[in-house]
Amino acid sequence: MFINRELSALAFNLRILGEAQDATLPPYERVRFLSIASANLDEFFMVRVAGIKQQLASGVTVTEADGLSPTEQFQAITTEVREMVRLFDTVWRDELVPLLRSHGVELLAPDALDRAQRDAVHEHFRSAVFPALTPLAVDPGHPFPHLRNKSLNLAVVLQRDGRKRRAGAGPGGLAVVQVPTVLSRLVPVPAGDSRSAYLLLEDLIGLFLAELFPGFAVEHKAAFRVTRNWDLNVDEEESEDLMSTIQEELRRRDRGMAVRLELNQSATLALEASLRQSLGLTHEDVYRSEAPLQLSDLTALSERDHRPELRAEPFTPALPPPLRDTESLFPVLARGDVLLQHPYDSFDPVTRLIEEAADDPNVLAIKQTLYRIAPDSPIARALSRAAENGKQVAALVELKARLDEANNIAWARRMEETGVHVVYGLIGLKTHCKITLVVRREGQGIRRYVHLGTGNYNALTARQYTDLSLFTARTAVADDVSALFNMLTGYAVPPTFKRLVVAPFGLKEKLTELVRREADRARRGEGARILCKVNHLVDADLIRELYQASQAGVRIDLLIRGICCLRPGLLGVSENIRVRAITDRFLEHGRVFAFGTPERAEVFLSSSDWMPRNFVRRVEVMVPVEDPVIRLRLLDEVLGLGLRDDTKATELQPDGTYSPVRTEGGPTVRSQMVFLERAHRAEPGKEAVIRHIAAPEPTPPPRSAVPQA
């Protein structure tokens, strides 16, 4: 009754890869999706496959809720990824290469260069590339080099000039040349016309390898890439200095166990065997590709070519009417709650709140959690300025935010130097909630302003992800946020919250209670409804509760962008559950939950997905939406429009596959484009108009052929 988590993650990546196949998208937008899918697969191996391989090495045989053992999972992953790699090759070779060529953009093969082009790139090689290269021999006196995670390299088989290898003998001497990451992967090639022609850096190096090995002949060469285990191994209870411990782990991580070898399709079997042996990998760990390795680098094509017809139409996030033409945010927020829907609504008010608070003489204190800090963060700079201005500033910086550890550490040090009280949260827990508290003197008293978000305090990702921001000055919410910060920064025991629901101190229990309440209503013959929009649904206990609610007659609609382990449409188990995923220009990232029929629904925003890690190993927050207008907007627009999307939505089938959603007759709906249009239609000086678009009655999901117990 459960879909395997790892296979569901691969299915999500397949949906992203499907966007690279969408012929209605501009060329560079398709290249961008190909790049995202490639980067996602890297992280999947660095974290998920690495974890399974550790289980295999430790002899773990326990199965997951879906019934697959680590061995079975690894075999299924290998099969799925090989098919995905073949699809990468097909999309690149048969679709994107001809498409780019038709627009005058071409990646040239080395043997396609004419004499003038070869001379030009040879000069570039000698002047700009050759000095940065370090050839590394591999022999008894030179052990195989330790190659950094995801580094691109050339493996070179060499023979001394004039000597031929005897028939049946093994490969000649082996050497490795690392492709420098400090140089652009795309080397411009003079084309003599309006075309933009490039040579990949590894192909340029491969053309002139002989100059790196005088006295030897290059018998064979192939590009390859190694993916390593990238998880941190930190014992927080034994660490006297958590920051120093994590910094040491970051240095060690680049030397983690190899988990995947990517190799050019042209590489010989003998070379593959030699690399596998040196890296401690098996044949199952090798993935050959016709497309260039590290496809994520190809987004640089769009950075060099600014033709608007080749990219997605640019957009400027809108500023909601209540926040326009006001000298200060505080009077606006004091009048009532404000909801922003990013990226359609600008992220600027979130940044402005911190910047204004930093300079406002009436602001006494600012407290904020920071999970993924932007490399050039105006928010972090504003917190530093606030501390320098004499305010009490506390920043909880999560040092264990995967892939952002080094950047967060750098910002933590910089803020500490300016007087910010930087803390790292509770031992054993990641602080994943996104909350800000501003304490301001007003008249004879104090008023507190709160921001709660579903996404990070990162202006860059706020233009790429769909997220929600709630501003409120409600006293009960502010009391809870104050208590939460006291718990995170001090020794306070977990308080009893008035409005917030906080993990790991009862979030899962509250969600379970809400699901069961709807099930009880359905059993009594009352209207019952559950709507949920999250990134991932994995927790087996909550899935079972949803199954029970479905059997009781509750209508359940789930918008799950990524991993979904729930299997809808099982006869006698989940006929009343519909699961859809939207894959479009922006990464769906908001978390909204609604329990109850529209006239009495309780609606919540949260930082949490429905996964065991969010309920047990992270500090998360769920907040009820009390403003009736905002509650309707979330129900009718954010959730309702998502459920009506029949252009970029796919529906999860009982067998774990996804099928496009198509509506018979009537206008089609592409929810992200509707939100973009609405954001720019709002007139200055007026409240944004909320059009109530009721979520349609769901069509019965397909049933599985075999009744399930």
465 to 5, 434, 460, 590: CA distances (angstroms): 23, 15, 9, 8
Which residues, 6+ apart, have CB-to-CB distance to 678 below 8 Å? 344, 688, 691
Region of 387 on the Ramachandran plot (φ > 0 left; ψ -120 to 50 alpha; else beta): alpha
For 509-512, which contacts have Cβ atoms below 8 Å and span 24 or more sequence positions?
Answer: 510/622, 511/542, 511/593, 511/610, 511/622, 512/541, 512/542, 512/545
Dihedral sign (CA 479, 480, 481, 487): positive
CA distance 164 to 271: 17
Residues in the chain: 709
Complete edge-to-edge strand list for the sheet that includes strand 186-189: 105-107, 196-200, 186-189
Give the C-alpha separation, 602 to 469, whole Å.
18
Give yes or no: 421 in active site: no
Hey, CA dihedral for 402, 407, 413, 414, is it positive or negative?
Answer: negative
Q: Which of 342, 432, 451, 589 is catalytic?
A: 432
Q: What backbone torsions phi and psi does residue 501 show, to the nearest 5 degrees?
A: -115, 130
CA dihedral 62, 64, 68, 70 (to 10 degrees): -50
- The three-class DSSP label of residue 440 is strand
Return the beta strands (E) in 144-213 as ranges: 152-160, 173-178, 186-189, 196-200
Six-digit token string for 408 = 């967060």
- Give the residue among 559, 650, 693 at the shortest CA–CA distance from 14: 650
Pairing of strands 186-189, 196-200: antiparallel
Q: Helix, strand or coil for residue 224?
A: strand
Strand pairing category for 338-342 and 105-107: unpaired
Sequence-distant (6+) residues with CB within 8 A of 492 are 483, 486
Alpha carbon distance 495, 491 (integer Å): 11
Tokens 């022609």 found at: 197
Q: Residues of 70-99 as b/e, b for ≥16 C-beta within 10 angstroms?
A: beebbeebeebbeebbebbeebbeebbeeb
Q: What are phi and psi of 529, to 5 degrees?
A: -155, 140
Q: CA of 151: how far to CAs of 7, 167, 294, in Å?
A: 26, 34, 9
Query: Active-site positions?
Result: 432
